[in-house]
A = this chain, B = another copy of it.
Protein backbone atom coordinates (compact mmCIF):
# COMPACT_ATOMS: atom_id res chain seq x y z
CA UNK A 1 0.00 0.00 0.00
CA UNK A 2 1.28 3.40 -0.98
CA UNK A 3 0.05 6.75 0.35
CA UNK A 4 0.61 10.32 -0.72
CA UNK A 5 0.03 13.45 1.34
CA UNK A 6 -1.24 16.67 -0.22
CA UNK A 7 -1.00 19.55 2.24
CA UNK A 8 -3.25 22.43 1.21
CA UNK A 9 -2.71 25.98 2.43
CA UNK A 10 -1.13 29.19 1.24
CA UNK A 11 0.04 29.82 4.82
CA UNK A 12 2.30 26.76 4.47
CA UNK A 13 3.91 28.13 1.29
CA UNK A 14 4.42 31.53 2.92
CA UNK A 15 6.13 29.85 5.87
CA UNK A 16 3.63 31.29 8.33
CA UNK A 17 3.14 27.94 10.03
CA UNK A 18 5.20 24.72 9.99
CA UNK A 19 3.74 21.65 8.29
CA UNK A 20 3.44 19.59 11.47
CA UNK A 21 0.55 17.59 10.00
CA UNK A 22 2.77 16.05 7.32
CA UNK A 23 5.28 15.02 9.98
CA UNK A 24 2.56 13.54 12.18
CA UNK A 25 0.97 11.62 9.29
CA UNK A 26 4.37 10.44 8.00
CA UNK A 27 5.13 8.90 11.35
CA UNK A 28 1.70 7.30 11.64
CA UNK A 29 1.82 5.84 8.13
CA UNK A 30 5.26 4.35 8.84
CA UNK A 31 3.87 2.67 11.94
CA UNK A 32 1.17 1.04 9.81
CA UNK A 33 3.75 -0.06 7.25
CA UNK A 34 2.15 2.09 4.55
CA UNK A 35 4.71 3.51 2.13
CA UNK A 36 4.95 7.27 1.67
CA UNK A 37 7.09 8.58 -1.14
CA UNK A 38 5.72 12.05 -1.78
CA UNK A 39 4.44 14.95 0.30
CA UNK A 40 3.15 17.82 -1.83
CA UNK A 41 2.29 21.26 -0.49
CA UNK A 42 0.11 23.53 -2.60
CA UNK A 43 -1.72 26.76 -1.82
CA UNK A 44 -5.45 27.43 -1.71
CA UNK A 45 -5.69 27.16 -5.48
CA UNK A 46 -8.10 24.78 -7.18
CA UNK A 47 -6.11 24.45 -10.41
CA UNK A 48 -2.86 23.47 -8.75
CA UNK A 49 -4.61 21.22 -6.24
CA UNK A 50 -6.26 19.38 -9.14
CA UNK A 51 -2.89 18.81 -10.82
CA UNK A 52 -1.49 17.51 -7.53
CA UNK A 53 -4.47 15.14 -7.25
CA UNK A 54 -3.83 13.88 -10.79
CA UNK A 55 -0.19 13.16 -10.00
CA UNK A 56 -1.07 11.45 -6.72
CA UNK A 57 -3.77 9.38 -8.43
CA UNK A 58 -1.10 7.86 -10.69
CA UNK A 59 1.21 7.00 -7.81
CA UNK A 60 -0.74 6.17 -4.68
CA UNK A 61 -3.52 3.94 -3.34
CA UNK A 62 -4.32 6.29 -0.48
CA UNK A 63 -4.43 10.06 -0.93
CA UNK A 64 -4.52 12.11 2.25
CA UNK A 65 -5.37 15.79 1.96
CA UNK A 66 -5.05 18.17 4.90
CA UNK A 67 -6.40 21.69 5.30
CA UNK A 68 -8.86 23.84 3.39
CA UNK A 69 -12.00 22.61 5.18
CA UNK A 70 -12.88 25.93 6.78
CA UNK A 71 -16.06 27.92 6.18
CA UNK A 72 -14.54 30.62 3.95
CA UNK A 73 -14.24 31.08 0.19
CA UNK A 74 -10.55 30.20 0.40
CA UNK A 75 -11.30 26.70 1.61
CA UNK A 76 -11.55 24.60 -1.52
CA UNK A 77 -10.28 21.12 -0.71
CA UNK A 78 -13.58 19.18 -0.68
CA UNK A 79 -14.90 21.18 -3.62
CA UNK A 80 -11.80 20.41 -5.68
CA UNK A 81 -11.80 16.70 -4.81
CA UNK A 82 -15.49 16.50 -5.79
CA UNK A 83 -14.77 18.32 -9.05
CA UNK A 84 -11.75 16.11 -9.79
CA UNK A 85 -13.81 12.93 -9.33
CA UNK A 86 -16.95 14.40 -10.98
CA UNK A 87 -18.94 13.90 -7.79
CA UNK A 88 -21.67 16.14 -6.42
CA UNK A 89 -21.39 17.74 -3.00
CA UNK A 90 -24.17 16.49 -0.76
CA UNK A 91 -25.34 18.11 2.48
CA UNK A 92 -24.67 15.75 5.37
CA UNK A 93 -27.49 16.39 7.86
CA UNK A 94 -25.77 14.72 10.76
CA UNK A 95 -22.61 16.84 10.29
CA UNK A 96 -24.75 19.96 10.05
CA UNK A 97 -26.44 19.04 13.34
CA UNK A 98 -23.03 18.52 14.98
CA UNK A 99 -21.81 21.92 13.76
CA UNK A 100 -24.98 23.57 15.08
CA UNK A 101 -24.41 21.89 18.47
CA UNK A 102 -20.75 22.96 18.50
CA UNK A 103 -21.81 26.60 18.33
CA UNK A 104 -24.78 26.23 20.66
CA UNK A 105 -22.59 24.70 23.40
CA UNK A 106 -20.37 27.76 23.24
CA UNK A 107 -23.33 30.12 23.26
CA UNK A 108 -22.77 31.22 19.66
CA UNK A 109 -25.00 31.10 16.60
CA UNK A 110 -23.94 29.14 13.57
CA UNK A 111 -23.32 31.46 10.64
CA UNK A 112 -24.51 30.67 7.12
CA UNK A 113 -21.04 29.93 5.78
CA UNK A 114 -20.65 27.08 8.26
CA UNK A 115 -23.26 25.14 6.28
CA UNK A 116 -20.57 24.71 3.61
CA UNK A 117 -18.61 22.63 6.09
CA UNK A 118 -21.35 19.98 6.13
CA UNK A 119 -21.16 19.45 2.34
CA UNK A 120 -19.36 16.21 1.42
CA UNK A 121 -18.48 14.59 -1.92
CA UNK A 122 -21.19 12.03 -2.74
CA UNK A 123 -20.37 8.57 -1.34
CA UNK A 124 -18.20 9.93 1.47
CA UNK A 125 -18.31 8.93 5.10
CA UNK A 126 -18.14 11.94 7.44
CA UNK A 127 -15.44 11.63 10.10
CA UNK A 128 -16.58 13.29 13.34
CA UNK A 129 -14.61 16.28 14.64
CA UNK A 130 -15.30 16.94 18.33
CA UNK A 131 -12.66 19.70 18.37
CA UNK A 132 -13.88 21.87 15.53
CA UNK A 133 -16.63 22.43 13.01
CA UNK A 134 -15.22 20.71 9.91
CA UNK A 135 -15.96 16.98 9.63
CA UNK A 136 -13.29 14.89 7.89
CA UNK A 137 -13.94 12.82 4.78
CA UNK A 138 -13.34 9.13 4.07
CA UNK A 139 -14.07 8.30 0.45
CA UNK A 140 -13.48 5.00 -1.33
CA UNK A 141 -13.64 5.50 -5.08
CA UNK A 142 -12.38 3.51 -8.03
CA UNK A 143 -10.10 1.34 -5.87
CA UNK A 144 -8.51 4.31 -4.12
CA UNK A 145 -9.04 5.78 -0.67
CA UNK A 146 -9.26 9.56 -0.35
CA UNK A 147 -8.99 10.96 3.16
CA UNK A 148 -9.56 14.65 3.85
CA UNK A 149 -8.58 16.00 7.26
CA UNK A 150 -8.90 19.45 8.85
CA UNK A 151 -5.77 21.62 9.09
CA UNK A 152 -5.55 22.40 12.83
CA UNK A 153 -3.39 19.66 14.41
CA UNK A 154 -5.60 19.41 17.49
CA UNK A 155 -8.50 18.53 15.18
CA UNK A 156 -6.53 16.34 12.77
CA UNK A 157 -4.73 14.17 15.30
CA UNK A 158 -7.74 12.88 17.27
CA UNK A 159 -9.58 12.32 13.97
CA UNK A 160 -6.68 10.22 12.68
CA UNK A 161 -6.41 8.27 15.92
CA UNK A 162 -10.12 7.49 16.36
CA UNK A 163 -11.52 7.34 12.84
CA UNK A 164 -8.85 6.96 10.17
CA UNK A 165 -6.36 4.59 11.77
CA UNK A 166 -8.95 1.95 12.76
CA UNK A 167 -10.34 1.96 9.19
CA UNK A 168 -6.91 1.65 7.63
CA UNK A 169 -5.86 -1.10 10.05
CA UNK A 170 -9.02 -3.04 9.12
CA UNK A 171 -8.31 -2.72 5.40
CA UNK A 172 -4.67 -3.72 5.85
CA UNK A 173 -5.76 -6.78 7.84
CA UNK A 174 -2.94 -8.94 9.12
CA UNK A 175 -0.94 -9.11 5.91
CA UNK A 176 0.87 -5.80 5.82
CA UNK A 177 4.43 -5.01 6.75
CA UNK A 178 4.71 -3.71 10.27
CA UNK A 179 7.23 -1.00 11.08
CA UNK A 180 8.04 -0.54 14.74
CA UNK A 181 10.47 1.91 16.15
CA UNK A 182 11.86 2.87 19.50
CA UNK A 183 13.93 5.77 20.74
CA UNK A 184 16.74 5.23 23.22
CA UNK A 185 17.96 8.42 24.91
CA UNK A 186 21.48 8.78 26.21
CA UNK A 187 23.29 11.44 28.22
CA UNK A 188 26.89 11.97 29.21
CA UNK A 189 28.77 10.92 26.06
CA UNK A 190 29.32 12.82 22.80
CA UNK A 191 27.62 11.81 19.55
CA UNK A 192 30.79 10.71 17.74
CA UNK A 193 32.03 8.71 20.73
CA UNK A 194 28.62 7.06 21.04
CA UNK A 195 28.46 6.30 17.31
CA UNK A 196 31.97 4.87 17.42
CA UNK A 197 30.77 2.27 19.91
CA UNK A 198 27.90 1.15 17.70
CA UNK A 199 29.23 1.78 14.20
CA UNK A 200 28.83 -1.86 13.15
CA UNK A 201 25.13 -1.70 14.14
CA UNK A 202 24.49 1.45 12.10
CA UNK A 203 25.15 -0.37 8.81
CA UNK A 204 22.38 -2.92 9.37
CA UNK A 205 19.40 -2.42 7.06
CA UNK A 206 16.82 -4.19 9.26
CA UNK A 207 16.62 -3.27 12.06
CA UNK A 208 18.15 0.15 11.44
CA UNK A 209 19.92 2.32 13.98
CA UNK A 210 20.29 6.08 13.53
CA UNK A 211 21.47 8.76 15.93
CA UNK A 212 20.26 12.33 16.34
CA UNK A 213 22.10 14.85 18.50
CA UNK A 214 19.71 17.13 20.36
CA UNK A 215 20.84 20.10 22.44
CA UNK A 216 20.43 18.21 25.70
CA UNK A 217 20.71 14.53 24.77
CA UNK A 218 21.52 12.05 22.03
CA UNK A 219 18.73 9.94 20.66
CA UNK A 220 19.13 6.60 18.94
CA UNK A 221 16.18 5.56 16.81
CA UNK A 222 15.81 1.81 16.33
CA UNK A 223 13.45 0.77 13.52
CA UNK A 224 12.45 -2.75 12.51
CA UNK A 225 10.29 -4.06 9.67
CA UNK A 226 8.59 -7.44 9.78
CA UNK A 227 5.37 -9.20 8.86
CA UNK A 228 4.02 -9.20 12.39
CA UNK A 229 4.36 -6.95 15.40
CA UNK A 230 5.93 -9.80 17.34
CA UNK A 231 8.68 -10.31 14.77
CA UNK A 232 9.36 -6.59 14.55
CA UNK A 233 9.53 -6.36 18.34
CA UNK A 234 11.91 -9.31 18.44
CA UNK A 235 14.26 -7.54 16.02
CA UNK A 236 14.03 -4.31 18.05
CA UNK A 237 14.62 -6.14 21.28
CA UNK A 238 17.77 -7.84 20.05
CA UNK A 239 19.18 -4.54 18.74
CA UNK A 240 18.29 -2.83 21.99
CA UNK A 241 20.20 -5.47 23.94
CA UNK A 242 23.31 -4.79 21.86
CA UNK A 243 22.91 -1.07 22.39
CA UNK A 244 22.59 -1.68 26.12
CA UNK A 245 25.79 -3.70 26.20
CA UNK A 246 27.71 -0.89 24.50
CA UNK A 247 26.09 2.25 25.97
CA UNK A 248 24.03 1.05 28.95
CA UNK A 249 25.60 3.37 31.48
CA UNK A 250 24.50 6.43 29.44
CA UNK A 251 20.91 5.38 28.69
CA UNK A 252 18.40 7.30 30.77
CA UNK A 253 15.04 7.05 28.97
CA UNK A 254 13.02 5.56 26.13
CA UNK A 255 10.60 6.92 23.54
CA UNK A 256 8.63 9.92 24.80
CA UNK A 257 10.07 9.87 28.31
CA UNK A 258 12.01 12.94 29.39
CA UNK A 259 14.77 13.32 31.95
CA UNK A 260 12.38 15.14 34.29
CA UNK A 261 9.85 12.31 34.07
CA UNK A 262 12.54 9.81 34.99
CA UNK A 263 13.61 11.98 37.92
CA UNK A 264 9.96 12.24 38.99
CA UNK A 265 9.51 8.47 38.81
CA UNK A 266 12.65 7.87 40.87
CA UNK A 267 11.65 10.42 43.51
CA UNK A 268 8.21 8.84 43.79
CA UNK A 269 9.61 5.33 43.97
CA UNK A 270 11.97 6.24 46.80
CA UNK A 271 9.52 8.57 48.51
CA UNK A 272 11.98 11.47 48.34
CA UNK A 273 11.36 15.21 48.10
CA UNK A 274 13.26 17.75 46.03
CA UNK A 275 13.79 21.50 45.92
CA UNK A 276 15.89 23.50 43.47
CA UNK A 277 17.96 26.68 43.69
CA UNK A 278 18.51 28.14 40.26
CA UNK A 279 20.71 30.95 39.15
CA UNK A 280 21.61 30.84 35.43
CA UNK A 281 18.76 28.51 34.47
CA UNK A 282 16.34 31.12 35.87
CA UNK A 283 13.46 28.80 36.69
CA UNK A 284 13.79 26.34 33.80
CA UNK A 285 14.54 23.30 35.99
CA UNK A 286 11.45 24.03 38.12
CA UNK A 287 9.40 24.64 34.99
CA UNK A 288 10.41 21.29 33.48
CA UNK A 289 9.75 19.46 36.73
CA UNK A 290 6.33 21.06 37.18
CA UNK A 291 5.26 20.21 33.63
CA UNK A 292 4.72 16.71 34.95
CA UNK A 293 1.23 16.11 36.33
CA UNK A 294 1.42 15.19 40.00
CA UNK A 295 4.90 16.66 40.51
CA UNK A 296 3.66 18.54 43.58
CA UNK A 297 3.91 15.30 45.58
CA UNK A 298 7.73 15.27 45.40
CA UNK A 299 8.70 18.75 44.16
CA UNK A 300 8.44 21.30 46.95
CA UNK A 301 9.53 24.29 44.90
CA UNK A 302 12.61 26.38 44.90
CA UNK A 303 14.32 29.68 44.68
CA UNK A 304 15.37 31.52 41.56
CA UNK A 305 18.29 33.35 43.15
CA UNK A 306 19.22 35.55 40.24
CA UNK A 307 20.61 38.24 42.55
CA UNK A 308 23.39 37.65 45.10
CA UNK A 309 21.11 39.16 47.72
CA UNK A 310 18.69 36.23 47.40
CA UNK A 311 21.60 33.76 47.44
CA UNK A 312 22.76 35.18 50.78
CA UNK A 313 19.41 35.89 52.33
CA UNK A 314 17.44 32.77 51.44
CA UNK A 315 20.10 30.17 50.75
CA UNK A 316 22.56 31.46 53.35
CA UNK A 317 25.46 31.44 50.95
CA UNK A 318 28.15 33.30 52.98
CA UNK A 319 28.92 36.75 51.62
CA UNK A 320 32.67 36.07 51.99
CA UNK A 321 32.31 32.99 49.78
CA UNK A 322 30.54 35.05 47.11
CA UNK A 323 33.32 37.65 47.34
CA UNK A 324 36.20 35.20 47.31
CA UNK A 325 35.02 32.69 44.70
CA UNK A 326 32.35 34.62 42.84
CA UNK A 327 28.72 33.59 42.33
CA UNK A 328 29.76 31.18 39.56
CA UNK A 329 31.95 28.72 41.46
CA UNK A 330 31.89 25.20 42.79
CA UNK A 331 31.77 26.52 46.35
CA UNK A 332 28.68 28.64 45.74
CA UNK A 333 26.90 25.87 43.79
CA UNK A 334 27.44 23.51 46.72
CA UNK A 335 26.38 26.12 49.28
CA UNK A 336 23.24 26.82 47.26
CA UNK A 337 22.38 23.10 47.16
CA UNK A 338 22.88 22.75 50.90
CA UNK A 339 20.99 26.00 51.47
CA UNK A 340 17.89 25.01 49.51
CA UNK A 341 17.89 21.55 51.10
CA UNK A 342 17.81 23.15 54.56
CA UNK A 343 15.39 25.92 53.62
CA UNK A 344 12.78 23.68 52.00
CA UNK A 345 13.40 20.76 54.39
CA UNK A 346 13.70 18.25 51.57
CA UNK A 347 15.70 15.08 50.95
CA UNK A 348 17.51 16.46 47.91
CA UNK A 349 18.58 20.04 47.35
CA UNK A 350 19.80 20.81 43.82
CA UNK A 351 21.49 23.97 42.58
CA UNK A 352 22.91 25.52 39.43
CA UNK A 353 24.96 28.65 38.86
CA UNK A 354 26.65 29.76 35.68
CA UNK A 355 27.04 32.31 32.94
CA UNK A 356 24.35 31.93 30.28
CA UNK A 357 25.63 34.87 28.24
CA UNK A 358 25.79 36.50 25.81
CA UNK A 359 27.60 38.98 28.09
CA UNK A 360 29.03 38.55 31.57
CA UNK A 361 31.93 36.28 30.61
CA UNK A 362 35.59 36.82 31.48
CA UNK A 363 38.72 34.94 30.34
CA UNK A 364 38.71 32.97 33.64
CA UNK A 365 34.95 32.50 33.70
CA UNK A 366 33.71 32.42 30.13
CA UNK A 367 30.12 32.37 28.90
CA UNK A 368 28.94 28.78 29.13
CA UNK A 369 30.70 27.99 32.43
CA UNK A 370 28.23 26.24 34.71
CA UNK A 371 28.48 24.55 38.11
CA UNK A 372 25.78 22.20 39.34
CA UNK A 373 25.43 20.56 42.75
CA UNK A 374 23.14 18.17 44.58
CA UNK A 375 23.01 17.83 48.37
CA UNK A 376 21.54 14.66 49.84
CA UNK A 377 21.82 12.83 53.16
CA UNK A 378 25.31 11.53 52.25
CA UNK A 379 26.90 14.82 51.25
CA UNK A 380 27.18 17.37 48.44
CA UNK A 381 28.14 16.44 44.88
CA UNK A 382 29.07 18.95 42.21
CA UNK A 383 30.21 19.13 38.59
CA UNK A 384 31.68 21.74 36.32
CA UNK A 385 30.74 22.21 32.67
CA UNK A 386 31.80 24.52 29.90
CA UNK A 387 29.45 24.73 26.95
CA UNK A 388 29.22 26.77 23.77
CA UNK A 389 25.98 28.09 22.43
CA UNK A 390 23.34 30.76 22.76
CA UNK A 391 21.76 31.73 26.06
CA UNK A 392 18.72 29.48 25.73
CA UNK A 393 20.78 26.44 24.79
CA UNK A 394 23.12 26.95 27.75
CA UNK A 395 20.09 27.22 30.05
CA UNK A 396 18.72 23.97 28.63
CA UNK A 397 22.03 22.13 28.87
CA UNK A 398 22.52 23.28 32.46
CA UNK A 399 18.98 22.22 33.41
CA UNK A 400 19.43 18.79 31.82
CA UNK A 401 22.82 18.30 33.51
CA UNK A 402 21.33 19.12 36.90
CA UNK A 403 18.40 16.73 36.38
CA UNK A 404 20.87 14.04 35.35
CA UNK A 405 22.93 14.55 38.50
CA UNK A 406 19.76 14.31 40.60
CA UNK A 407 18.93 11.08 38.75
CA UNK A 408 22.38 9.66 39.39
CA UNK A 409 22.27 10.53 43.08
CA UNK A 410 18.93 8.77 43.53
CA UNK A 411 20.29 5.72 41.71
CA UNK A 412 23.22 5.74 44.16
CA UNK A 413 20.82 5.79 47.08
CA UNK A 414 19.14 2.83 45.43
CA UNK A 415 22.32 0.71 45.62
A: which residues have CB within 8 A of B? 11-20, 22-30, 36-43, 45, 48, 52, 55, 108, 192, 210, 212, 221, 275-276, 278, 281-287, 289-291, 293-296, 299-307, 309-310, 313-314, 343-345, 356-360, 391-392, 395
Contacts and interface: CB of A to CB of B under 8 A. Distances in A.
A300 B290 contact: no
Given A301-B305, A309-B344, 11 more contacts: A12-B39, A16-B212, A38-B40, A38-B48, A39-B41, A55-B55, A278-B283, A282-B290, A287-B395, A291-B395, A301-B303
A344 B293 contact: no
Given A48-B37, A293-B358, A307-B296, A23 B15 contact: yes
Residue from A302, A357, A358 whose CB has the most chain B CB atoms within 10 Å:
A302
Given A282-B286, A286-B304, A12 B41 contact: no
27 contacts: A13-B36, A14-B30, A15-B23, A15-B28, A19-B22, A19-B39, A22-B41, A37-B48, A40-B41, A275-B310, A281-B287, A281-B290, A282-B287, A283-B286, A283-B290, A286-B287, A287-B287, A287-B395, A290-B306, A290-B395, A293-B357, A293-B358, A296-B306, A296-B360, A301-B305, A302-B304, A313-B343
A228 B27 CA distance: 43
A135 to B, nearest CB: 21
B344 A16 contact: no
A15 B41 contact: no
B306 A304 contact: no
A314 B314 CA distance: 8
**Shortest beta-carbon contacts, A-B, top 7:** A282-B290, A283-B286, A15-B27, A15-B26, A283-B283, A301-B306, A39-B41
Contacts of A293: 357-359, 391
B300 A283 contact: no
B359 A391 contact: no
A283 B287 contact: yes
Given A293-B391, A303-B301, A309-B300, A14 B26 contact: yes
A38 B37 CA distance: 16
A36 B48 CA distance: 12
Contact of A26 (B13, B30, B282, B284): B13
Nearest to A285: B283
Contacts of A28: 15
A282 B138 CA distance: 43
Contact of A307 (B291, B301, B305): B301
